[in-house]
Amino acid sequence: MPKTKKKDGVEQIVAKAFAHPLRVQILIILNERVASPNMLAQELDQSLNLVAYHVRVLEKYDCIELVDTKQRRGATEHFYRATRRQFLSDSEWSRMPQSLRPGLSGAMLKSMFDDIEEAVKSGSMDEQDDRHLSRTPMVVDQQGWDEVSALLTETLDRVLQIQGEAAKRLSDSGEDGMLSKVEMLHFRSPAPTA
């Protein structure tokens, strides 16, 4: 249960938790692995005090949880993992204040671009023969827009189901898994310039 006043609904909690792009970046990292504020500060090239503050905010809104502590040079280092995925549902996004949207989109896109750059530089982008890479400019009406949005939501749900099934098989077999990333975008494009 979120540690907020009763009057705060889910959308208000999400809006407060995601109100700063750095919190979105922290949540993205903690969705992939356990990390401490010190590790996050180094990776994000931010001050430890600033990162620690934003970690506390995410913890307050139950987006992350403490999973371990270790003694380091006379201090206790705290390690966290995400309890909430870093994206917003369509209904949560529709209630998000317009003023917060560009920062959230920017933080998510930065992480996506970083993922892609890392995969290209390492050679893993083109390692699998059946990897998917496409760009599909379209002209649609509102019904077409709605249908594409619904399809991508269904696809995300299925991707998460596949991930859960794979995790069970990997656990049963003791095999190492293959890290993969699915990056989906659907956005309104500006009109072409003359």
Give pLDDT, residue 13. 67
Give pLDDT, residue 20. 82
Distance CA 191, CA 194 (A): 9
* pLDDT tens-place values along the chain, 194 residues long: 334 333 455 556 666 777 788 888 898 888 888 999 999 999 999 999 999 999 999 999 888 999 999 998 888 999 999 887 656 777 777 777 787 788 778 877 888 888 899 999 999 999 999 999 999 999 999 999 999 999 998 998 898 889 889 988 988 998 988 888 888 888 888 887 76
Distance CA 139, CA 192 (A): 12
* Long-range contacts, stretch 48-52, CB < 8 angstroms, 24+ apart: 50/22, 51/22, 51/26
